[in-house]
C-alpha cells in the first residue's frame, strides 16, 4: 500500500462563477487540460484549489466530480486537510468510497497543538482508510503547525499506510532528515516535492512532484520533472531558474496570482473566492506584462 | 569558483568544504593560542580549501574583540598563504565590526565575512547601509552572511538586496547562505550568478547536496573537525555528479549535524575529545558537554563509522 508512487502530479485550481459558486463546466475543462498536458496524477483540491474556501459538501463533491471526470485515466489523490480531526477523517473515508487512489493531509489547520496531538490528528486521518497516506509539510512562512522530523518518524510507527511526505516547506534540513531517517524506519519512504522547486528535493532523494505551476506552464514543469527524474540535476538548473522566476511572479500577486497567470495564458478560471482578493485591472496588466516578457513561456500552450 | 575583485592582488578560489575552526580554550576558559594553531594546521593538512574564523561555532560572540584580533593573527600566520583565510566581522556593535575588518586587512587576511546588525530585526535598507559601511571600510573581498530565521528575526538577504549590494560594492564576492531553503536560495542565486558569474555562494553548514546543482560552490563546515575525510569525499562526489555517493555522504553529515546542533558548539567540542583533539570547555552561557553527553557522542560516532575511519589526534 505504501508502494504507490504519485509521479508527476498536477494540482488544479477550482474555477468559480461570478456568483462565487463552483463552475463545474469550467472545472471539466481544467481537468481535461491537465490530462492532455502531462499529468500522471491529479491532487484535489490542494491549497491551489482553494480548499480552505470550500464548504465540506463542496470538498466532497469536488473529489467526486474529479474522479468521475478522470474516469480512471490517472490516479486522483484526495486532499482532506481540516482543523477538526473527525471532519478530515470522514472526508478521507468518503474519498476512499469514491475511488481516490491516495489520501493527503496537512497538520491541523488553525490550531497549534503540541506535537503529540499533531501525531494523533494525522494518525487518525491516515488510519481511517486503507489507502496510501501522505502527510503535507506546509510552507515555512505559513502560520499553521509545522511538520517536524520527529512528528514524521512517530507517524511512521502509528500509520502502516504512511507512504511519504509531500513537502512544501522547501526546508533542506527537514527534507534530508525526513527521507534519510524515514527510510531507516520504512524502506521506500517517499519524499515528494509539493512545489515547483524540484531540483533540491530530487537530488536529496525525493521522487515525484506536486506542481502548482503546471496550470500555467505544463511543458516547463514537465521538462524540469523529467530532468530530475533522470537524475540530471545540473541540466535541470536552467528550467528550475525559469520556474523560480515564474513562481516569484505568481507568488508576488498573492492568492489571485495563479488564476491571473492562467488567464494571461488564455485559460480563464474566474477569480478566487472571497476573502481572497482578485487582482485589479492595473495589477493584472502588470502581471500580464511580466508573463509576456518571459520568453520561456513562448512554447507553452495558450488557451485550453 | 574563481573570484577576482577590484583592489585584491590575486584572485581567490572558493570551492569545496571550507573549514571554520572552533576556538580551543584552556581549562580556565582563556583563549588557547597554541591549541588554535594546532586546530588551524590540522584543517589545512586535511584538505581544507579555505579557513574561516571565528564563526558562531567558534563562539565568536563570547570572545572579546582583543581575543578575536589575536585569533585572526594566529590564523593568518599559521595558514601562511597555503589557502585563503576569511575573518568573520559579526559583532553586536557595528563599530567593532569595522575595527575587525580594518584589522583583518592590516594582518593580511584574504577576505572578510560580515553580518549586521544582530538582534534588531533590521530592515533591508538597514542591512544594505551596514554592509556598505563595512564593505567600504577596506578593499578586502567581502562575503555577507545570510541568516534568516523562521520567526522573522535574523538578518535576511533577499534577491533584491543582493542585487543592490552587487551593484554598489565591486569587492562583494560572495555569500554564506544559511537559509537552507529552495525558494530563498534560488532568489539569491538567480540574481547573483547572472550579475556576477564568479559570485561564491557558500552554504552555512554542509547542506551542499540540495544547493550544488543550483550553483553553490561549497560550504563552511560544521563537521570537518570530526570527519574531514567524509567532507572531502562528499565534495568530490558532487564535482563528479555521483549523486548516490553524495546522498550517502549528505545523510551521514546531516546525522552529525543533528548531533552537533544540540547545544552547539559544545557537542562538537565534546565529540572532538573522542577524536583525540581536545579543545577545552565552551564559554558560558553555552554549556560544556557533560560526561554523559560525551559517552553518547562516542556511541554515535562509532555507529556512524566515524571513529574507525577518520584521523585521530592532531
Q: Are strands A209-211 and B2-3 parallel, antiparallel or unpaired?
A: unpaired
- Phi then psi for residue A117, to 5 deg, are -75, -30
Query: Quick check: A88 and A120 in contact, CB under 8 A?
Result: no
Residue B6's pLDDT is 47
Instruction: Write down how long chain B is.
Output: 314
- Contact list in A for residue B246 (CB cut-off 8 A) is 203
Per-residue pLDDT of chain B in tens (314 residues, 90 and over written 9): 555 544 444 478 899 999 999 999 999 999 999 999 999 999 999 999 999 999 999 999 999 999 999 999 999 999 999 999 999 999 999 999 999 999 999 999 999 999 987 778 889 999 999 999 999 999 999 999 999 876 666 899 999 999 999 999 999 999 999 999 999 999 999 999 999 999 999 998 888 999 999 999 999 998 999 999 999 999 999 999 999 999 999 999 999 999 998 888 999 999 999 999 999 999 999 999 999 999 999 999 999 999 999 999 99
Residues in chain A: 304
pLDDT of residue B8: 43
A78 occurs within a structural domain = yes
**Which of A177, A199, A236 is facing B254, going by the closest CB pair?**
A177
A243 belongs to a structural domain: no
A257 belongs to a structural domain: no
Out of B190, B213, B251, name the one closest to residue A176 (CB). B251
Is the residue at A278 inside a domain? no
* The three grid cell numbers given for residue B194, joined into one nine-digit string: 547572472
Range A188-213 burial, b when 16+ CB lie within 10 A, else e: ebbbbbbbbbbbbbbbbbbbbbbbbb
ipTM of this complex = 0.92
User: Does residue A218 sit in helix, strand or coil?
Assistant: helix
Task: Describe chain B by its helix, strand, coil percentages, rounded to 5.
Answer: 45, 15, 40
Which of A171, A203, A205 has its CB closest to that of B180? A171
What is the pLDDT at residue B154? 81
Residue A191: its H or E element: strand A190-193
pLDDT at B152: 62
Size of interface A-B (CB pairs under 8 A): 81
Contact A92, A128 (CB under 8 A): yes
Residue B40 in grid coordinates: 588551524
Three-state SS for B258?
Answer: helix
**Grid cell locating B1:** 569558483
CB B294 within 8 A of CB B242: no
Interface of B with A in 2-61 (CB under 8 A): none
Chain A residues close to B251, C-beta within 8 Å: 176, 180
Check if B152 contacts A (Cβ < 8 Å): no
The grid coordinates of residue A190 equal 517517499
Antiparallel, parallel or unpaired: β B111-114 and B85-88: parallel
Q: Is B16 helix (H, G, I), strand (E, B) or coil?
A: strand
Residue A182 lies inside a defined structural domain of this protein: yes
Q: Is residue A62 part of a domain?
A: yes
B195 touches chain A (CB under 8 A): no
* pTM, 2 dp: 0.94
pLDDT given for residue B119 in this prediction: 78
Q: How many domains does chain A have?
A: 1
Output the pLDDT for position B3. Answer: 58
> Which residue numbers in chain A have pLDDT < 70?
141, 143
Domain containing A203 equals 8-233
Query: Are the beta carbons of A236 and B150 separated by less than 8 Å?
Result: no
Q: Find out whether A86 and A54 touch, Cβ atoms under 8 Å.
A: no
Characterize the bridge pairing of strands B172-177 and B142-148.
Answer: parallel
Distance from the B202 Cα atom to the nearest Cα atom in chain A, whole angstroms: 15
A-contacting residues of B 219-248, CB under 8 Å? 241, 243, 246-247
Residue B149 confidence (pLDDT): 73
User: Are the Cβ atoms of B246 and A203 closer than 8 angstroms?
Assistant: yes
> In CATH, what number is assigned to the domain containing residue A112?
3.20.20.70
- With an 8 Å Cβ cutoff, is B213 touching chain A? yes
Which cell numbers hold the place of B184?
A: 530563498
pLDDT one-digit tens code per residue, A79-122: 999 999 999 999 999 999 999 999 999 999 988 889 999 999 99
In this prediction, residue A261 carries a pLDDT of 96
Distance CA B176, CA B8 (A): 20
What gap in Å lies between CA B65 and CA B60, rounded to an integer?
9
β partners of residue B202: B176, B218
The C-alpha angle with vertex A176 and arms to A170 and A179, in degrees rounded to 5, equals: 105
Quick one: which of A186, A178, A185 has its CA closest to A150? Answer: A178
Which 8-state DSSP code applies to residue A48? G
Pick from B183, B212, B251: CB nearest A180: B251
A277 in any annotated domain: no
Does a structural domain hold residue A264? no
Q: Going from the N-terminus, what domains does chain B have, and what CATH number goes with each?
A: 2-225 (3.20.20.70)
Amino acid at each position: 500500500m505504501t508502494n504507490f508512487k504519485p509521479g508527476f502530479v498536477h494540482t488544479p485550481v477550482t474555477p468559480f462563477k461570478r456568483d462565487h459558486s463552483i463552475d463545474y463546466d469550467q472545472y471539466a475543462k481544467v481537468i481535461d487540460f491537465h490530462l492532455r498536458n502531462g499529468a500522471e496524477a491529479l491532487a484535489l483540491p490542494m491549497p491551489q484549489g482553494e480548499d480552505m474556501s470550500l464548504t465540506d459538501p463542496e470538498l466532497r463533491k469536488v473529489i467526486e466530480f474529479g474522479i468521475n471526470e478522470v474516469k480512471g485515466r490517472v490516479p486522483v489523490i484526495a486532499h482532506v486537510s481540516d482543523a477538526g480531526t473527525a471532519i478530515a477523517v470522514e472526508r478521507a473515508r468518503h474519498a476512499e468510497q469514491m475511488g481516490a487512489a491516495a489520501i493527503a493531509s496537512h497538520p491541523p489547520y488553525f490550531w497549534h497543538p503540541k506535537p503529540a496531538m499533531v501525531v494523533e490528528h494525522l494518525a487518525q486521518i491516515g488510519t481511517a482508510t486503507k489507502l496510501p497516506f501522505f502527510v503535507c509539510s506546509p510552507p515555512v512562512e505559513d502560520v499553521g503547525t509545522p511538520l517536524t522530523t520527529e512528528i514524521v518518524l512517530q507517524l511512521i510507527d502509528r500509520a502502516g499506510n504512511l507512504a511519504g511526505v509531500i513537502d512544501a516547506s522547501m526546508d533542506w534540513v527537514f527534507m534530508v532528515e525526513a527521507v534519510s531517517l524515514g527510510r531507516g524506519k520504512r524502506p521506500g519512504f517517499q519524499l515528494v516535492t509539493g512545489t515547483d522547486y524540484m531540483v533540491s528535493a530530487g537530488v536529496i532523494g525525493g521522487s515525484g512532484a506536486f506542481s502548482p505551476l503546471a496550470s500555467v506552464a505544463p511543458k516547463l514543469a514537465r521538462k524540469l520533472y523529467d530532468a530530475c527524474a533522470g537524475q540530471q540535476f545540473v541540466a535541470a538548473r536552467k528550467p528550475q531558474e525559469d520556474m523560480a522566476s515564474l513562481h516569484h511572479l505568481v507568488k508576488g500577486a498573492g492568492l489571485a496570482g495563479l488564476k491571473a497567470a492562467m488567464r494571461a495564458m488564455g485559460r480563464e478560471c474566474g477569480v478566487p473566492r472571497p476573502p481572497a482578493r482578485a487582482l485589479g485591472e492595473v495589477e493584472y496588466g502588470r502581471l500580464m506584462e511580466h508573463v509576456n516578457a518571459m520568453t520561456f513561456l513562448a512554447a507553452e500552450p495558450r488557451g485550453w | 569558483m574563481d573570484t577576482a575583485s577590484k583592489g585584491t592582488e590575486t584572485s581567490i578560489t572558493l570551492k569545496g568544504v571550507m573549514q571554520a575552526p572552533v576556538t580551543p580554550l584552556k581549562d580556565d576558559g582563556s583563549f588557547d593560542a597554541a591549541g588554535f594553531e594546532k586546530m588551524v594546521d590540522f584543517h589545512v593538512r586535511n584538505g581544507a580549501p579555505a579557513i574561516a574564523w571565528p564563526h558562531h561555532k567558534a563562539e565568536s560572540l563570547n570572545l572579546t574583540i582583543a581575543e578575536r584580533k589575536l585569533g585572526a593573527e594566529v590564523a593568518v600566520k599559521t595558514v601562511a598563504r597555503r589557502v585563503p583565510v576569511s575573518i568573520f566581522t559579526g559583532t553586536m556593535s557595528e563599530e567593532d565590526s569595522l575595527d575587525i575588518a580594518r584589522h583583518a586587512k592590516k594582518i593580511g587576511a584574504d577576505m572578510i565575512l560580515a553580518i549586521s546588525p544582530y538582534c534588531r530585526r533590521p530592515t533591508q535598507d538597514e542591512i544594505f547601509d551596514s554592509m556598505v559601511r563595512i564593505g567600504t571600510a577596506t578593499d578586502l573581498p567581502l562575503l555577507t552572511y545570510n541568516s534568516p530565521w523562521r520567526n522573522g528575526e535574523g538578518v535576511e538577504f533577499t534577491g533584491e538586496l543582493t542585487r543592490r549590494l552587487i551593484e554598489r560594492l565591486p569587492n562583494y564576492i560572495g555569500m554564506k547562505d544559511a537559509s537552507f531553503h529552495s525558494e530563498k536560495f534560488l532568489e539569491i542565486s538567480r540574481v547573483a550568478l547572472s550579475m556576477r558569474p564568479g559570485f561564491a555562494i557558500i552554504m552555512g553548514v554542509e547542506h551542499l547536496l540540495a544547493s550544488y546543482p543550483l550553483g553553490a560552490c561549497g560550504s563552511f563546515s560544521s563537521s570537518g573537525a570530526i570527519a574531514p575525510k567524509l567532507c572531502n569525499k562528499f565534495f568530490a562526489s558532487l564535482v563528479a555528479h555521483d549523486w548516490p555517493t553524495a546522498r550517502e555522504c549528505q545523510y551521514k553529515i546531516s546525522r552529525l549535524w543533528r548531533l552537533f546542533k544540540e547545544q552547539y558548539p559544545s557537542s562538537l567540542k565534546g565529540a572532538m575529545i573522542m577524536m583525540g583533539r581536545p579543545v577545552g570547555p565552551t564559554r558560558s552561557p553555552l554549556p560544556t558537554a557533560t560526561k554523559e553527553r560525551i559517552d553518547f557522542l562516542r556511541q554515535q560516532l562509532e555507529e556512524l563509522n566515524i571513529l574507525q575511519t577518520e584521523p585521530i589526534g592532531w
